[in-house]
Each structure stands twice: as structure tokens, then as C-alpha cells.
A and B are shown apart, each in its own frame.
Chain A
């Protein structure tokens, strides 16, 4: 857990927003809505445009480049254009100073964004952080589908086909989940080879343990499964392509 001081509350206009670069190289957007402050990733997840250059009315944040929109209280997509939510950081206000807290790397994962805090903590305990260098193989075709992965940084390539040489052509964003066969029934073997293309950091969770944690919190589990089915549909939905 890391806690970073960002600014004074007085610097943020009422129902306005401002961006800050932290020492760690993170760009953070701080927005005010009434009595509350919110912190989000400072760059649009679409094309890395500065969100502070966009429009904000105290409730909805709009990127000026392609009009993706998000609810400022949750970071969830508003309307039909935005394809992904914003990464939200926990905010603490102490004596008029704003801090952001990055409590759980899993929170950045779309799949888990609706999960209750208790279950998220349980999942956090399951997650192992792994680093791969360029060319590092995460799994091969035919490997068991025990674990699912969340990309924290870097890039991962997927190869399919009999000999594992045809690019599947997926490009992942930070927080995206793959290897989700680990959460499915009767999908015991990998159908793709996953290779790290540069230094990459991944969170790795055992599928069965994840399902157990979700079973004990069916509300969270239901929301995760809804997200998962949407994710799968999206990849299948490319006009008859798989």
C-alpha cells in the first residue's frame, strides 16, 4: 500500500479538476464534486490524451478527443462511446491536503471493479505478482488452465494455431484479464501461447481459489461473471471471427 500527497484542497476549483504528476511518474487527475474529491488516472485509457483538457461539469467527465465519458463518483463508463472504465484511486483528505492511496492492484482490473472490499482483500491475498522479461513464456498451448492473469504493466502477445505461431492479434491494456479459461468449466487446456514482449508485470491468481472466494460472496461473484461474459462476447463478437 502506498500513500502519495498530491495537493491542497484549495487548489481544486469547486466542481472542477486538475492534473498532477507524482514523483513516481504517475499522472493523476483530482476532481471535486460538492464536498468530495476523486482521483483517477490522468490519461484517457483510449489514446492517452490528458483528461484535464477535457470537459467536466461536477458529475460527468468527458475526454475532449473522442468524447468518452465517465461517472466521476465511480469511474464507470457513461453512454455508449467509452469502452473501458477509468482507473480510480482511493482519496484521503487530511487537514486540507489530498492524498491518494493505491491499496489494491486488483482494483485496476475491470473484472474485479465491482467486487466488495472484503472479497477484494481475499483476492489480494491470492494474487502473486510475477515479472517476465522480453520473450518470457507465461503459458503454452496445451498447458493446464490453472491460473488467470491481470496485466499490470508491459505487453503480452498471444499465438494460436497447431504449432503456436499464428498471432491471435490481441492487444491488452493495463488492468486487462487474460487466461480466463481458469474460471470456466471444461476448459482444461490452453488454446494459445502467451509470451511477454517486454519487461512485464502480471498478477496471477489461481482460478479455483478465485471461484471459491466469489462463491462465498455471490453478489460480487455475480458481478464478476457478468463482466466475464461481456468480455468473452466482445472477443467472439468480431463478425463471426474468433
Chain B
């Protein structure tokens, strides 16, 4: 099918195959169509159908609440049934040459292990190596579970042959029920990516502030890993705030300790516990980490006071946490171009 996109500044044409979502087809052609979650919740990829017909793969998608008229639809959920002409009410530029263009691929779950009773760590071996930027995510679809989920990469390598993800158990959530209740090692999954604009490059040349809740820490580890590989923290500061409810919910503490050893005192890692004070054992086991009590955005606000000069902030976690963190950063007079996150709500 032929797709014609009329954006604010110019028109684009590309082709889709049967059932292929319009957003994914356009992004694969290096056309920078607007999106954030790419999985039906944020509404950012809405477009208006001018002519032709589309099939909506998920008419109950929560992101449809951002649609106002009957002729609007979400490009991430809809495939073209005929040749279509659509309007996108924003400026659309080609994806820049140094940014990874997303593609569809397959992979096999090569390992699945529990980090806590409700957080699982997955490794997916890809059928082809891929490049991605630190902080990006992939869409993953498991057999028999409808729809893609967006998971941030934990690792960061050039030409990555496998990707690591962490997934939190959500009662009633299709894919998490499947992951936590099935022996999923060896299972083949479909992937599309890399996606996401909250990325880190060593050429950023700014201090890095990471505020993450729960499994939102995944992308931060990718960023820290990229930074550590480039010896970034010999020149710039890194402040990481990782929020969980209790110490039992925390994970990757050994990995953070290793990063501290590798990067030195310019990297500061604070574990924020919202429901308890850190037991003394935590400090003994992880002498290089700090522990504090409170919501992660409040803890970050306290520790960062007066320390927002030349800072780029990365946020990830449950939507209310991201929202609260944005408020803290705006109050601290951070400029919005230095507040990075991919919206999943």
C-alpha cells in the first residue's frame, strides 16, 4: 500500500506491507514521524485520515483518549487497508544520519532470571547485530500475547548481538503473566526498534542526572554503561537516584557498586526507599552506595539542591513519578530541553 503523509512542513511517501503498522513502516524508511511510546498509550503518533482506509489493530488502546475526531487514528496501531493519504500536525524531518533507524527483527530469549519476586531480567539473542543509543527501547512481542510492549535496554554495546531487559510483574498484564508463568527460555520473539529520544551521547558534555523508579532504571544502566565505557565521569558528574518501595524490591545493587568502583567519586548513586528506612546491613553490604528514605523525586530534590548547573536529566518510571520529578526539576529552574524522558502514558 502507498502511504502519503502531509506534515506541517512537507510531504512524504512510503510503502507498507499488509498488516504493517503505518508508524513502524515510516520509521523504517528513516522518516521521523512523531511518537513516544509507539505502543498505543501516549497518543503522540495521532494522525488524520484524509483518504483511504486503515484497520485499527487495537481499538481499545488507551492512547485513543487523545483523539478528538472520528477521522483521527494512532499510527502505531493502524495498518493501511488501501492506499492512504494522512495528515500529521507537526514538523516531520528525516531521521538524521547518525541516529539508528529502527527495523523489525527476531530474537530468542536466551536467559530469564528473577531479580526480585516481581522483577525479571531477560536476555534476548538477536538474529542480526544491531546498533542503538544508550537510553533507547525496543518493542517486543511474544507468541500468543497480543500487542507490542516497550522495554528499555539495560546493556549498551556497539553491534549488540543480544539485548537485556527488565520487566516488572503486573497482575493481569498479558505479557508479564506469560513471562512469570512460562518457561520462556528458548522462545522466539518479534522485535521492532531501536526507539526513543531520551538518549545519551558522550559528546553531550554535561553532568548527568538520572531519576528512575522500579524497572525504569533499565535505560539508566544503559546510559551509565555507555558513559563508563568512555571514561565520561572523569570529567563530568553523574547523580543516580533509584526509587523502590523497600530494600527487598531493589536490584542491580552489585552492578551499581561496580560502576562506582569503575567511575570513581564523580558518580553518586542513591537508593531511595519509599516505605522503610534502609537497614544497617544495606550500608555494610554496599558501602559505595547511599540510601535515603522517601519518594525518589523528593530524595533527588534534597540531594541535588544547588547542584543543577550544566545538568541533563533523564527520567523513567511510573507516570506519576515522572510527573513529580518534572515538577521538581522545573522548580529548580532546569530548562525543558535538558529534561529527557519517553512518555508512556
Residues of A within 8 A of B (CB): 46-49, 55, 57, 60, 62, 64-69, 79-81, 83, 157, 166-173, 197, 234-235, 238-239, 241
Contact = CB atoms under 8 A, between A and B. Distances in A.
Contacts of A234: 9, 91
B274 to A, nearest CB: 22
B21 interface: no
A48 B65 CA distance: 12
Nearest to A172: B8
B9 A47 contact: no
Interface stretch (B81-89, B101-109, B141-149, B156-164): B81-89
Interface of B: 4-12, 43-44, 46, 50, 66, 68, 85, 87-91, 93-94, 323, 326-327, 330-331, 335-337, 339, 343
A64 B326 contact: yes
Given A57-B331, A238-B93, A170 B10 contact: yes
Query: Taking chain B's interface residues, is the majority helix, strand, or loop, or is none over half, making it mixed?
Result: mixed
A169 B6 contact: yes
B280 to A, nearest CB: 39
B241 to A, nearest CB: 20
A46 B4 contact: no
A185 B211 CA distance: 54
B313 to A, nearest CB: 11
Contact of B11 (A62, A83, A168): A168
Contact of A171 (B46, B87, B326, B330): B87
A68 B335 CA distance: 11
A183 B140 CA distance: 52
B323 A64 contact: yes
Given A166-B11, A169-B6, 12 more contacts: A47-B44, A55-B326, A55-B330, A79-B336, A80-B336, A157-B6, A167-B4, A169-B10, A171-B8, A235-B9, A239-B93, A241-B10
B242 to A, nearest CB: 23
A157 B48 CA distance: 13
Given A55-B326, A62-B336, A67-B339, A170 B6 contact: yes
Contacts of A171: 6-8, 87-89
25 contacts: A47-B46, A48-B68, A55-B326, A55-B327, A57-B331, A62-B330, A67-B336, A67-B339, A79-B335, A79-B336, A79-B337, A80-B336, A81-B337, A83-B90, A166-B11, A167-B4, A167-B85, A168-B10, A169-B4, A169-B12, A170-B6, A170-B9, A171-B6, A197-B50, A234-B91
Contact of B10 (A66, A68, A83, A238): A238
Contacts of A172: 8
A69 B11 CA distance: 28
A54 to B, nearest CB: 10
